[in-house]
Copies of this chain bind each other. A is one copy, B any other.
Amino acid sequence: MGVKVLTIKENILGANEEIASRNQERLDKHRVLTVNIMSSPGAGKTSLILQTIDRLKPEIRVTVIEGDIASTVDADKVNQRGVPVIQINTDGGCHLDANMIENALNNLPLEEIDLLLIENVGNLVCPAEFALGEHKKVMLLSTPEGDDKPYKYPLMFTEADVVLVNKVDLLPYLDFNVNTFNKAVTGLNPDVKILPVSCQTGEGLDAWLSWLEAEIKETKKRQTGR
């Protein structure tokens, strides 16, 4: 299957929240757990998605939306796994918004999807402000970025349901204090789940997959009960 490319100009003035609610209703109706994955450039969003695809139970039908300013580098990698993928190119826009996602949903067979992973534009600032209609916000902080990032980019850490601390395999070579980081994050967001992982070595990914599969099960149950 080919990579679809949607080139969508940033809709700054649109009623983002309203479109996001509409997206979520639609995703709820079709029981599609939708996860918005955010991080700085190069923190490991694409690696996480590829590892997740490889490790998910085979009966779970996953689809990916790739958000990038330019290129289809990431979508090509997902496509090579035989997983359906839509590339959104934002033409310079620094985040995805609900309107872009609505356009993508119009191109997806939602009744055939259990899990929709959305890779946002690499940016620790703007994506945190724009709801897409997702059920869960997951952020990656890679250890080389430093343990002081929650102080400097507080909104992202406040908004996240899960913080994945990626590249823990590099910890021996870095001045990154895990306790300092965890305290800063839980100070901003006491209910957050923090999971240390390495998308390079696979360390910690079982816990991430367990969380994700439990959420997928929850989504199915919640909907059946309606």
Contacts and interface: CB of A to CB of B under 8 A. Distances in A.
Interface residues of A, number: 34
Contact of A149 (B42, B154, B173): B42
Contacts of A170: 144, 170, 173
Contacts of A129: 92
B173 A40 contact: no
20 contacts: A41-B124, A42-B145, A42-B146, A43-B145, A68-B152, A69-B125, A69-B152, A69-B154, A70-B152, A71-B152, A73-B148, A73-B152, A92-B125, A92-B155, A94-B123, A122-B125, A123-B124, A123-B125, A144-B144, A173-B173
Contacts of A149: 41-42
B41 A153 contact: yes
Contacts of A40: 40-42, 122, 124, 145
A151 interface: yes
Contact of A151 (B71, B121, B153): B71
Interface in A130-160: 142, 144-146, 148-149, 151-155
A126 interface: yes
A41 B74 CA distance: 21
A124 B40 CA distance: 8
Contacts of A69: 125, 152-155
Contacts of A31: none
